[in-house]
Amino acid sequence: MITILNICLTVSAFVYVLIVIYLRKGWSAIPFFSTEISPSKKVSVLIAARNEEENIARTIEAILNQNYPASQLELIIVDDHSTDRTAEIIKSYEDCGVKLLQLQVGNRLNSYKKYAITKAIEMASGEIIVTTDADCRMGENWIPTVVGYFEKHNSFLVSSPVVYSEEKSKFEELQTLEFLYLIGLGAAGIGNGNPTTCNGANLAYRRDVFFEMGGFKGIDNLASGDDELFLHKVAEKYANKIGFCKSREAIVYTDAKPDLTSFISQRKRWASKSTKYKDKKVIVLGVCIWLFNLALIFSLLAFIILLPTLNWWLLTAFGLKMFVELLFMIPVLSFAKRSELLKYLPFLTIIHTFYLVYIGVAGNIGKYDWKGRKVN
């Protein structure tokens, strides 16, 4: 039994190393971008907000302060049945051109965010749709950089970086490191010509492409997936028209989760999308990574219970995992100017093993909480 387990661990570790090296190649394939033109396309920035009275004003101010012609920038915010002062705060910016759309659909939906975005796009006048979240911050060159990328590359969909900032604890700093790993994976997939993931807090696409793809039709029964699953729809037909804007000017900043419960709930929501992937390559990639971490756990248990002596197979597998993850994360953290987080990598490498296996299962069974709602 131990021999079979060691063989499985060795094979899965070898596959994992190849995957991460391949992803490292994808990240490196994306050049740094700096806009050299004055973009002119009409842009509609869309935000779906629910109970965000503490954050929404800061986000609105950041968008209104963009270095972009006011006549070419439209901000539409959809209030998703907020029970606090969110709508009132948004209305106070009406004189600045901010448009408010209030949902009145009760409790009959599972995917409120997709519905909110769809309604906002229907009333939007911009050629380019940019989505972000109600708790985000961005620099004044965010829109001109993203739109400049669109115009230079004639893109149909552009994913841009999202970074946690203003952490208040070691736990939040750990989340920042883990989240940058996810952002790096999404960029790497695009760099390799196989888009896999993106983040709706910083996503842009052409309005006509949204309608050509049928919007969220076919994925509208799932609470999450307004970003990744739509990316996959576009990639089926226009993978070569999808780009990643590797520019610090294009970064959107947001907050890590304050406690473990909210963190797990968020990650379960994200993981719930995996059963809806149509691209078999993405599924195989995810399964290989999950199986490697599962093999690590079984090997660790066997070491503790059955063979409490030095296990070089297990140590080598963990060492390889840490090495290739370090190889991948160094340039990603350098890009985000968060290289100091590398000190957490050995610890994250270990706990990430258990976390990934758990989330892979928990994210695809049952319901989870999202802003006071039970969804699936």
Beta bridge partners of 163: 253
How many residues are recorded in the chain? 376
Burial grade of 279 (CB within 10 A; 0-12, 13-18, 19 or more): middle
Write down the mean pLDDT value for the chain: 89
**Confidence band for 372, pLDDT divided at 50, 70 and 90:** low
Calculate the dihedral angle through the C-alpha atoms of 268, 87, 219, 376, rounding to the nearest 10 degrees: 30
CATH topology (fold) of 31-257: Spore Coat Polysaccharide Biosynthesis Protein SpsA; Chain A (3.90.550)
pLDDT at 157: 97
pLDDT at 64: 97
Residues 166-195: tens digit of each pLDDT? 999 999 999 999 999 999 999 999 999 999
Question: Mean pLDDT over residues 302-313, rounded?
Answer: 70
335: left (phi over 0), alpha (psi -120 to 50) or beta: alpha
pLDDT at 361: 86
Q: Where are the domains of the chain?
A: 2-26+280-370, 31-257
Spatial contact of 254 and 162, defined as CB atoms under 8 Å apart = yes
Measured between its terminal Cα atoms, the distance across the chain in Å is 38
What contacts 249, CB < 8 A, 6 or more positions away?
34, 35, 139, 141, 142, 145
DSSP string, 324-345: HHHHHHHHHHHHHT-GGGGGGH
pLDDT at 158: 97
Indicate the pairing of strand 99-102 with strand 128-132.
unpaired
Other beta carbons less than 10 A from residue 11's beta carbon = 13
**Can you give the pTM of this predicted structure?**
0.90
